[in-house]
A and B are shown apart, each in its own frame.
Chain A
Amino acid sequence: GQQVMQIPQYQHVQEGEDFTTYCNSSTTLSNIQWYKQRPGGHPVFLIQLVKSGEVKKQKRLTFQFGEAKKNSSLHITATQTTDVGTYFCAGGNQAGTALIFGKGTTLSVSS
């Protein structure tokens, strides 16, 4: 079945350093969504990418969708302690019947 792999599983950075998490699918995706889950919280939607090669920015966050629509990345510039949490990518299958989540990347930031 469709699988979405996400790396790294954990990442620790010093405040001010950059951070990137990568998402890879075994099949071509219709879209990719990114969610953030703060410790003890629930996943919160960040963004959706639909087009091949799409790049979107939200302040210090940059999201990319690969040309083949099989991979995606989230890059955070100059991390802050408020960026702490687990970032999940979620890929939609072509049939629209499932949104498959990766296992997430847990980011910790020390000041």
Chain B
Amino acid sequence: DSGVTQTPKHLITATGQRVTLRCSPRSGDLSVYWYQQSLDQGLQFLIQYYNGEERAKGNILERFSAQQFPDLHSELNLSSLELGDSALYFCASSAQVFANTGELFFGEGSRLTVL
């Protein structure tokens, strides 16, 4: 158990819909990362928050947004969903602000299926 909690574990929805994925980081970790894992693209970095502030952005679509709340949990909002958004979305947390220091602790992921 990594200590990172993600909900929901599975989600099935239709194209055009909007969903919210939730992540609670390990106790004490201030950094939260979101990654998208699909079969052909591996682990794609989406965005990082540190202590409530956006720290770094990766290949995140404009239809996607995220935020980190004062209690440090984070939410990833995916809107106008397309079939290609079907993937496993991982949240990871770390104690450090910089992505290149220290290990990331991954949650078990949220599997999104868009029909």
Residue ranges of A at the interface with B (Cβ–Cβ < 8 Å): 29-31, 33, 35, 41-45, 48, 88, 90, 92-94, 96-104
Contact = CB atoms under 8 A, between A and B. Distances in A.
B109 A42 contact: yes
A97 B103 contact: no
Contacts, number: 69
Interface of B: 2, 33, 35, 41-45, 48, 55-56, 58, 90, 92, 97-109
A85 to B, nearest CB: 13
A99 B104 contact: yes
19 contacts: A35-B104, A35-B106, A43-B90, A43-B104, A45-B103, A45-B104, A92-B100, A92-B101, A93-B99, A96-B97, A96-B100, A96-B101, A97-B48, A97-B55, A97-B98, A98-B45, A99-B99, A101-B44, A103-B41
